[in-house]
Protein backbone atom coordinates (compact mmCIF):
# COMPACT_ATOMS: atom_id res chain seq x y z
CA UNK A 1 0.00 0.00 0.00
CA UNK A 2 1.03 3.63 -0.46
CA UNK A 3 1.49 6.16 2.33
CA UNK A 4 -0.86 9.15 2.22
CA UNK A 5 -0.50 12.41 4.14
CA UNK A 6 -2.17 11.07 7.28
CA UNK A 7 -0.05 7.94 7.10
CA UNK A 8 3.11 10.01 6.80
CA UNK A 9 2.12 12.11 9.81
CA UNK A 10 1.89 8.87 11.79
CA UNK A 11 5.31 7.86 10.42
CA UNK A 12 6.93 11.02 11.76
CA UNK A 13 5.25 10.49 15.12
CA UNK A 14 6.70 6.97 15.15
CA UNK A 15 10.16 8.28 14.21
CA UNK A 16 9.95 10.66 17.16
CA UNK A 17 9.13 7.75 19.45
CA UNK A 18 12.05 5.77 18.01
CA UNK A 19 14.47 8.63 18.62
CA UNK A 20 13.23 9.02 22.18
CA UNK A 21 13.62 5.29 22.81
CA UNK A 22 17.15 5.23 21.33
CA UNK A 23 18.38 8.56 22.69
CA UNK A 24 20.79 6.98 25.15
CA UNK A 25 22.04 4.44 22.62
CA UNK A 26 22.77 7.06 19.95
CA UNK A 27 24.45 9.30 22.51
CA UNK A 28 26.57 6.37 23.69
CA UNK A 29 27.70 5.70 20.13
CA UNK A 30 28.48 9.39 19.65
CA UNK A 31 30.40 9.61 22.91
CA UNK A 32 33.00 7.23 21.48
CA UNK A 33 33.79 9.23 18.33
CA UNK A 34 31.86 12.51 18.47
CA UNK A 35 30.39 15.13 20.78
CA UNK A 36 28.15 12.73 22.75
CA UNK A 37 25.03 14.63 21.69
CA UNK A 38 23.61 12.85 18.63
CA UNK A 39 20.85 11.07 20.52
CA UNK A 40 19.96 14.19 22.47
CA UNK A 41 19.86 16.30 19.31
CA UNK A 42 17.81 13.84 17.29
CA UNK A 43 15.33 13.37 20.12
CA UNK A 44 14.91 17.12 20.53
CA UNK A 45 14.63 17.66 16.77
CA UNK A 46 11.87 15.13 16.22
CA UNK A 47 10.04 16.32 19.32
CA UNK A 48 9.96 19.75 17.65
CA UNK A 49 8.84 18.09 14.41
CA UNK A 50 5.90 16.56 16.29
CA UNK A 51 4.94 19.98 17.65
CA UNK A 52 5.21 21.58 14.20
CA UNK A 53 3.22 18.93 12.35
CA UNK A 54 0.56 18.75 15.07
CA UNK A 55 -0.06 22.47 14.69
CA UNK A 56 -0.29 22.32 10.89
CA UNK A 57 -2.77 21.13 8.30
CA UNK A 58 -1.42 19.28 5.28
CA UNK A 59 -2.87 18.09 2.00
CA UNK A 60 0.49 17.90 0.25
CA UNK A 61 3.48 15.72 1.13
CA UNK A 62 5.88 18.31 -0.25
CA UNK A 63 4.73 20.91 2.28
CA UNK A 64 4.86 18.35 5.08
CA UNK A 65 8.44 17.27 4.30
CA UNK A 66 9.52 20.89 3.88
CA UNK A 67 8.29 21.69 7.38
CA UNK A 68 10.09 18.63 8.76
CA UNK A 69 13.34 19.71 7.11
CA UNK A 70 13.11 23.32 8.24
CA UNK A 71 12.24 22.27 11.79
CA UNK A 72 15.21 19.91 12.04
CA UNK A 73 17.52 22.52 10.55
CA UNK A 74 16.42 25.04 13.14
CA UNK A 75 16.39 22.80 16.20
CA UNK A 76 19.04 20.08 15.87
CA UNK A 77 22.56 21.03 16.89
CA UNK A 78 25.86 19.99 15.40
CA UNK A 79 26.15 18.63 11.88
CA UNK A 80 22.96 16.57 12.13
CA UNK A 81 20.60 19.55 11.88
CA UNK A 82 21.82 20.88 8.53
CA UNK A 83 22.28 17.37 7.10
CA UNK A 84 18.92 15.94 8.11
CA UNK A 85 17.23 19.25 7.40
CA UNK A 86 18.68 19.25 3.89
CA UNK A 87 17.70 15.61 3.42
CA UNK A 88 14.01 16.18 4.11
CA UNK A 89 13.88 19.54 2.34
CA UNK A 90 15.37 18.04 -0.81
CA UNK A 91 12.91 15.15 -0.53
CA UNK A 92 10.10 17.71 -0.38
CA UNK A 93 10.98 19.00 -3.86
CA UNK A 94 10.22 15.55 -5.31
CA UNK A 95 7.02 15.16 -3.30
CA UNK A 96 5.49 18.55 -4.06
CA UNK A 97 1.86 18.22 -5.10
CA UNK A 98 1.64 14.57 -4.10
CA UNK A 99 -1.03 13.26 -1.75
CA UNK A 100 0.64 9.87 -1.33
CA UNK A 101 3.98 8.17 -1.81
CA UNK A 102 4.65 4.87 -3.58
CA UNK A 103 7.86 2.94 -4.25
CA UNK A 104 8.84 5.06 -7.25
CA UNK A 105 8.23 8.44 -5.62
CA UNK A 106 9.89 7.43 -2.33
CA UNK A 107 12.97 6.12 -4.15
CA UNK A 108 13.21 9.30 -6.23
CA UNK A 109 12.73 11.54 -3.19
CA UNK A 110 15.30 9.70 -1.08
CA UNK A 111 17.79 9.78 -3.94
CA UNK A 112 17.32 13.56 -4.10
CA UNK A 113 17.75 13.77 -0.32
CA UNK A 114 20.98 11.78 -0.52
CA UNK A 115 22.29 14.14 -3.20
CA UNK A 116 21.61 17.04 -0.85
CA UNK A 117 23.52 15.41 2.00
CA UNK A 118 26.49 14.60 -0.23
CA UNK A 119 26.56 18.13 -1.66
CA UNK A 120 26.49 19.65 1.81
CA UNK A 121 28.76 17.28 3.73
CA UNK A 122 31.05 16.19 0.86
CA UNK A 123 31.05 12.67 2.30
CA UNK A 124 31.54 9.56 0.20
CA UNK A 125 31.14 5.86 0.87
CA UNK A 126 33.54 4.54 3.54
CA UNK A 127 34.05 7.97 5.10
CA UNK A 128 32.21 6.55 8.17
CA UNK A 129 29.10 8.75 8.00
CA UNK A 130 25.35 8.48 7.48
CA UNK A 131 26.12 8.20 3.75
CA UNK A 132 27.39 4.64 4.33
CA UNK A 133 23.88 3.56 5.39
CA UNK A 134 21.83 5.86 3.18
CA UNK A 135 23.57 5.17 -0.14
CA UNK A 136 22.98 1.39 -0.20
CA UNK A 137 19.44 1.96 1.09
CA UNK A 138 18.66 4.32 -1.79
CA UNK A 139 20.25 1.93 -4.28
CA UNK A 140 18.08 -0.92 -2.95
CA UNK A 141 14.96 1.25 -3.15
CA UNK A 142 15.76 2.31 -6.71
CA UNK A 143 16.34 -1.30 -7.76
CA UNK A 144 13.05 -2.34 -6.15
CA UNK A 145 11.32 0.56 -7.87
CA UNK A 146 12.70 -0.46 -11.25
CA UNK A 147 11.49 -4.03 -10.65
CA UNK A 148 7.96 -3.01 -9.67
CA UNK A 149 8.25 -4.08 -6.03
CA UNK A 150 5.57 -2.71 -3.71
CA UNK A 151 6.36 -0.15 -1.01
CA UNK A 152 6.64 -2.65 1.83
CA UNK A 153 8.96 -4.96 -0.11
CA UNK A 154 11.08 -2.05 -1.28
CA UNK A 155 11.44 -0.74 2.25
CA UNK A 156 12.42 -4.19 3.49
CA UNK A 157 15.24 -4.20 0.94
CA UNK A 158 16.20 -0.64 1.86
CA UNK A 159 16.31 -1.37 5.58
CA UNK A 160 18.42 -4.49 5.05
CA UNK A 161 20.86 -2.49 2.94
CA UNK A 162 20.95 0.31 5.51
CA UNK A 163 21.70 -2.18 8.28
CA UNK A 164 24.60 -3.66 6.31
CA UNK A 165 25.89 -0.17 5.57
CA UNK A 166 25.59 0.84 9.20
CA UNK A 167 27.49 -2.22 10.37
CA UNK A 168 30.16 -1.65 7.72
CA UNK A 169 31.12 1.60 9.47
CA UNK A 170 32.46 -0.23 12.53
CA UNK A 171 35.96 -1.06 11.18
CA UNK A 172 36.29 2.15 9.15
CA UNK A 173 38.58 5.04 10.00
CA UNK A 174 36.54 8.24 9.90
CA UNK A 175 37.42 10.74 7.18
CA UNK A 176 34.72 13.34 7.86
CA UNK A 177 33.34 15.21 10.83
CA UNK A 178 34.42 15.24 14.45
CA UNK A 179 35.28 11.53 14.35
CA UNK A 180 37.99 12.20 11.75
CA UNK A 181 40.02 14.02 14.42
CA UNK A 182 40.53 10.67 16.16
CA UNK A 183 42.24 9.09 13.16
CA UNK A 184 42.84 5.36 13.67
CA UNK A 185 41.13 5.50 17.07
CA UNK A 186 37.79 5.99 15.32
CA UNK A 187 37.97 2.41 14.01
CA UNK A 188 35.98 -0.16 15.95
CA UNK A 189 32.98 2.09 16.58
CA UNK A 190 29.65 2.20 14.76
CA UNK A 191 28.82 5.57 13.26
CA UNK A 192 25.90 7.25 15.06
CA UNK A 193 24.65 9.04 11.92
CA UNK A 194 24.50 5.79 9.96
CA UNK A 195 22.65 4.30 12.93
CA UNK A 196 20.01 7.02 13.02
CA UNK A 197 19.45 6.58 9.26
CA UNK A 198 18.85 2.86 9.86
CA UNK A 199 16.49 3.60 12.74
CA UNK A 200 14.46 6.06 10.65
CA UNK A 201 14.10 3.66 7.72
CA UNK A 202 13.22 0.72 9.96
CA UNK A 203 10.56 2.85 11.62
CA UNK A 204 9.05 3.79 8.24
CA UNK A 205 8.96 0.08 7.34
CA UNK A 206 7.29 -0.83 10.62
CA UNK A 207 4.70 1.90 10.15
CA UNK A 208 3.88 0.70 6.63
CA UNK A 209 3.46 -2.89 7.87
CA UNK A 210 1.21 -1.77 10.73
CA UNK A 211 -1.01 0.25 8.41
CA UNK A 212 -1.35 -2.43 5.73
Q: What is the pTM for the complete model shown?
A: 0.95
Structural domains in the chain plus CATH codes: 3-211 (1.25.40.340)
Whether the per-residue pLDDT at 179 is higher than 80: the answer is no
Work out the burial of residue 211: count CB atoms within 10 Å of its CB; fewer than 13 is exposed, 13-18 middle, 19 or more buried: middle
Whether the per-residue pLDDT at 1 is higher than 80: the answer is no
Residue range 10-67, pLDDT digits in tens: 999 999 999 999 999 999 999 998 888 999 999 999 999 999 999 999 999 999 999 9
Report, as an integer, the average pLDDT of 189-194.
95
Q: Helix crossing, 61-75 with 5-21: angle to 10°?
A: 20
In angstroms, rounded to a whole number, what is the distance separating the alpha carbons of residues 204 and 159? 9
Amino acid sequence: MNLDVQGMLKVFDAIGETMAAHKEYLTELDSAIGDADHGINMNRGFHKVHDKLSAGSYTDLGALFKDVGMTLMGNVGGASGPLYGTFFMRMSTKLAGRQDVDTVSLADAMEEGLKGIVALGKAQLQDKTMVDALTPAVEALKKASDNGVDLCGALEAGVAAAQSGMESTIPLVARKGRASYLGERSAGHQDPGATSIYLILSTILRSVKESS
